[in-house]
Amino acid sequence: MAYKRTEKFDEEITSSLMKKYKESIALLGEDPEREGLQKTPERMAKAMQYLTQGYGIDARAILESAKFHEEVSEMIIVKDIELYSMCEHHMLPFYGKAHVAYIPNGYITGLSKIARVVDVYSRRLQVQERLTHQILSAIKESLNPLGVAVVIEASHLCMMMRGVSKQNSVTTTSAFFGEFEKNETRSEFMKLISAKLH
């Protein structure tokens, strides 16, 4: 199954969002008619649609669009995948890095597809824990591998800019399946993602 990338914005959704964002700006005490803010509702409407475009995309289809038969059984790691998402509690960004590994069982996928899957689930309203598990499940179900591991390290603006103002805290989440549930394999993976190779 093919997937398509959407850079176009739905006109009806854009204009409804614009109205609501204009109201929100006024409710927050600003003048939405002043020069610098006139186009802000439209920019917000488009930015938010862009940042949530992951809802319309099937992550499994991405992985299956580049699924190749290959007899390798070594661990494949894609580390330091840039990640930008939005917390579903405050709709504020969280950002960081994802490290993903799998051990093939007859099938591999393109390395860039793994990064695309991270994007698809990041561009939704998320919690970091669910994001971690969704990436793992997509790989598990599409490639039927012997094992999958996902580690995400992220900083949450809702923690940094408001409330407790914990500027330097990084949240780490992980999910493991199959071979990675064994201590030995998991520690090899953890060692490889912590190693500074560059």
Binding site for Zn ion (CB under 5 A): 87, 89-90, 158
The least CB distance from residue 125 to Zn ion, in Å, is 10
Is residue 82 among the annotated active site residues? no
> Which of the residues 49, 126, 133, 156 is marked catalytic?
156
Question: Do 81 and 152 meet the contact criterion of CB atoms below 8 Å apart?
Answer: no
Q: Give the position of tokens 């099938």.
A: 107
Which amino acid appears at position 52 of this protein? T
CB–CB of 77/110 below 8 Å?
no
87 assigned to active site: yes
Of 70, 89, 129, 141, catalytic: 89
Is 89 one of the catalytic residues?
Answer: yes
The residue among 116 and 123 lying less far from Zn ion, judged by its C-beta, is: 123
Q: Which of 153/188 has CB closer to Zn ion?
A: 153
Based on the residue annotation, tell me whether 90 is a catalytic residue of this protein.
yes
Strands 125-126 and 76-87: parallel
The rounded distance, in Å, linking the Cα atoms of 179 and 76 is 13
Catalytic, out of 128, 133, 134, 179? 128
Examine the residue annotation and report whether 158 is marked as an active-site residue of this protein.
yes
- The string of DSSP letters for 177-197 reads EEGGGSHHHHHHHHHHHHS--
Query: Is there a catalytic annotation at residue 156?
Result: yes
Q: Least CB distance from residue 94 to Zn ion, whole Å?
A: 7
Is the Cβ of residue 113 or residue 123 nearer to Zn ion in the bound state?
123
Q: Which of the residues 23, 33, 82, 88 is marked catalytic?
A: 88
CA distance 82 to 100: 12
- Nearer to Zn ion among residue 51 and residue 158 (C-beta): 158
> Helix H segments across 9-54?
11-27, 40-51
Tell the smallest beta-carbon distance from residue 13 to Zn ion (Å): 24
Which residues carry out catalysis?
Answer: 87-90, 128, 156, 158
